[in-house]
Chains A and B, each alone.
Chain A
Amino acid sequence: MAEIKPSEISAILRQEMAGFQMETELEETGTVLQVGDGIARIYGLTNAWSGEMIRCNDDAMTGVVLNLEEDNAGIVLLGDSRNLKEGDLVKRTGRIVSVKAGEPLLGRVVNTLGHPIDGKGPLEGELFEMPLERKAPGVIYRQPVNEPLQTGIKAIDAMIPIGRGQRELIIGDRQTGKTAIAIDTIINQRSFFEKGDPVYCIYVAIGQKGSTVANIVEHLEKHDAMKYTVVVSATASDPAAMQFFAPFTGAAIGEFFRDTGRHALVIFDDLSKQAVSYREVSLLLRRPPGREAYPGDIFYLHSRLLERAAKIISSQDIAQQMNDIPESIKDMVKGGGSLTALPIVETQAGDVSAYIPTNVISITDGQIFLESNLFNAGIRPAINVGVSVSRVGGNAQMKAMKKVAGTLKIDQAQYRELEAFAKFGSDLDPTTQAVLDKGARNVEILKQGQYKPLPVEEQIILIYCGTKGLLMELPLNKIQRFESEIINHMQQKHPDVLKSVRFGVWDDESVQTIEEAVKAVIQNILHPQKEDEAPEIKE
């Protein structure tokens, strides 16, 4: 290693010091009157704004002004409140609470304040300050949802399609696979990232166990999905204020991508826990409690958060005039971006008429309803197709998928109606039997393993087999085998058809090829031929 001269060191030090401003400016201060439970009451701070960041203990901790009262300000502390004492001096920053967002966050796990907590060192690269609380884009800066967001899950992409810029609620009891749907959706974006049309993903974990978050990160890493993903983590041990601000951090990071003309997907896992932490903070701030002791503005809390999910108008000129653009990204604004939100809400014993679930259902553009009895019956993802809807995603669905899956939802509804009936085991007429057979096969087709999102062209082919009734002669227990074999067959013998389906071509020619392939595969499963099996054994 080359020797370092002391003179060089002092020269470098001097250079570093050159940018340091010695002037002191007039600071506005306040005195802590009372502190406890993550809340502090401050005397002074007469000019502080609501939502302003406050520095406590010589910058060791940040607080956020939430209550402005006649002679004191109520602030929530984003850190350990034991470090703050009565009589301590706190200072205004003149900044609304914000995070630094940008590409360097990708692949990282950060806390509510945007500081990395994954031990991979500081964030390197350019970051832009984005406010946590920001008004959603106005009506003129928006555009109807028109591009699909592929989740890679057959049941969702076929029947409850989600568009880029949509807000789709994932709701269900504990242990029904809500997070699994979200994680699979993130993993499915990998192919888009690799193709150069990325959907950046932000996973916000609120009030979860640290081990659960670590587990999710590990799975994302294993599936090579962290390259385009940011994990915002506010675990159960973090202060309540950190937990209820976490989704806003996620939204702020997502907005950075949205407003710079790119696509982003943000998952809030889950908003019922966030509501609980907001209730905690509100009650400690002595705001009046309402239903279930939630504060009066709990609906506004969720609606303003989810309203920030949007598809931005593609016209560059209009997009640039968007309301409330943060100063830091003012000259980077581009139209055509989107922010899709997948909030998750946990219900208790399937009760969707509780306070928070009804609120969030009414805010979002549809919901995916998961049921534990379906889950336990082995139907996974355990989506209850009857009550799950997507109010706007249909416009964004791929033409081919729309054509193929159009009747699927009705077929399944009919099937479920007759299924209960058929359980009595009486003789059924052939039409009823046909509906039942087809429905059972469709249920089988819609089953899908975790971490196995499918590309859209493969989904289309499988759904086509189901809705067209091509699998009637196949016994139910062979459907899974058929699925993998038909996909293998198509990949090996007709890659061109797969490719054209992916780009939305659904003409008679490809349909014919697919039908022939299906016939061949079914034949092979029902009557295996020696020659076909021989090479497999050799291997």
Chain B
Amino acid sequence: MPHNNHILNKRYARALLSLAEENNILERSYLDMRRVCEAFANNKELLIILKSPMIRTAKKQGVLTHLFGNILHPLVLRYMTIIVRKQRGNMLDGIASAYLIVYKQHLGIEEVKLTTAIPLDEELRTRALTAAKKLTPHQIEFIEEVDPSIIGGFILNLGEKQYNASVKHRLQRFKKHLYHK
């Protein structure tokens, strides 16, 4: 879980967003930030380095430049080094994930997550996509997740709404129904 001072995270994220908009690199910045998020998720050491007060700021900046120098847009990289310089490096992971949310909010993209017990095949995917598009007037980002523990059926998350049609949930409800008759 990213750093949880979410008010602060969002404030920093919004700064990058408006800067990216000015420079017309909105989409690029989004993709970059997603990469940063992935990097944080896959490498715990990176965050440990950024959080450690023992390591000098210049070293931290060096690590970032080395890692992301060739991948990220120069503006995004500069933004990250500024944050490290201002002693907020420990929040970078939170800012990166907040950026994804802020970006989607800005463009009115809604996240639709479909959880199934087995991977979707092509036909089901197109059917699910068309159905999901009907649920909201906004643009959607479709995320698939496979979770065998739900046994069967599906769970659809649309923003903060959830439509739980999994077999697991039904069995739980049935159990409750029998217990509290």
Partner-B contacts on A (CB < 8 A): 16-17, 19-20, 22, 24-30, 33-34, 41, 43-46, 58-59, 70-72, 86-87, 89, 91
| Closest Cβ–Cβ distance, residue A69 to chain B (whole Å) | 9
Q: Are B160 and A58 in contact (CB under 8 A)?
A: no
Chain B residue nearest to A20 in the complex (CB):
B177
Q: Which residues of B contact A17 (CB under 8 A)?
A: 174
Bound CA span A91–B160, Å: 10
Q: Which residues of A contact B177 (CB under 8 A)?
A: 19-20
Q: Which residues of A contact B176 (CB under 8 A)?
A: 59
| Closest Cβ–Cβ distance, residue A99 to chain B (whole Å) | 15
Q: Which residues of A contact B4 (CB under 8 A)?
A: 33-34, 41, 86
Q: Which residues of B contact A16 (CB under 8 A)?
A: 178, 181
Bound CA span A22–B164, Å: 11
Q: Are B1 and A28 in contact (CB under 8 A)?
A: no
Q: Does B157 contact A (CB under 8 A)?
A: yes
Q: Which residues of B contact A91 (CB under 8 A)?
A: 162
| Closest Cβ–Cβ distance, residue A102 to chain B (whole Å) | 16
Bound CA span A29–B157, Å: 9
Q: Are B164 and A27 in contact (CB under 8 A)?
A: yes
Given contacts A16-B181, A20-B177, A71-B10, contact A89 B162 (CB under 8 A): yes
Interface size, B (range): 20 to 34
Given contacts A34-B4, A72-B6, A87-B1, contact A22 B170 (CB under 8 A): yes
Given contacts A16-B178, A71-B6, A72-B6, contact A26 B157 (CB under 8 A): no
Q: Which residues of B contact A28 (CB under 8 A)?
A: 160-162
| Closest Cβ–Cβ distance, residue B115 to chain A (whole Å) | 11
Q: Which residues of A contact B7 (CB under 8 A)?
A: 70-71
Bound CA span A97–B176, Å: 19
Given contacts A33-B4, A71-B6, contact A24 B160 (CB under 8 A): no
Bound CA span A70–B7, Å: 9
Bound CA span A72–B160, Å: 13
Q: Which residues of A contact B10 (CB under 8 A)?
A: 71
Bound CA span A520–B164, Å: 83
Chain A residue nearest to B174 in the complex (CB):
A20
Q: Does B165 contact A (CB under 8 A)?
A: yes
| Closest Cβ–Cβ distance, residue B152 to chain A (whole Å) | 13
Q: Are B162 and A27 in contact (CB under 8 A)?
A: yes
From B4, B157, B160, B169, name the one whose CB has the most chain A CB atoms within 10 angstroms.
Answer: B160
Considering the complex, which residues of chain B in the window 120-163 have a beta carbon less than 8 Å from any beta carbon of chain A? Answer: 157, 160-163
Q: Are A30 and B1 in contact (CB under 8 A)?
A: no
| Closest Cβ–Cβ distance, residue A94 to chain B (whole Å) | 13
Q: Are A29 and B162 in contact (CB under 8 A)?
A: yes
Considering the complex, which residues of chain B in the window 48-86 have a beta carbon less than 8 Å from any beta carbon of chain A? Answer: none
Flag B76-120 by CB within 8 Å of A: 1 or 0 each. 000000000000000000000000000000000000000000000
Bound CA span A20–B162, Å: 21
| Closest Cβ–Cβ distance, residue B156 to chain A (whole Å) | 9
Q: Does B24 contact A (CB under 8 A)?
A: no
Q: Which residues of B contact A70 (CB under 8 A)?
A: 7
Q: Which residues of A contact B173 (CB under 8 A)?
A: 20
User: In the complex, which of the residues A29, A33, A46, A58 contacts B172, with contact meaning CB atoms closer than 8 Å?
Assistant: A58
Q: Which residues of B contact A58 (CB under 8 A)?
A: 172
| Closest Cβ–Cβ distance, residue B170 to chain A (whole Å) | 7
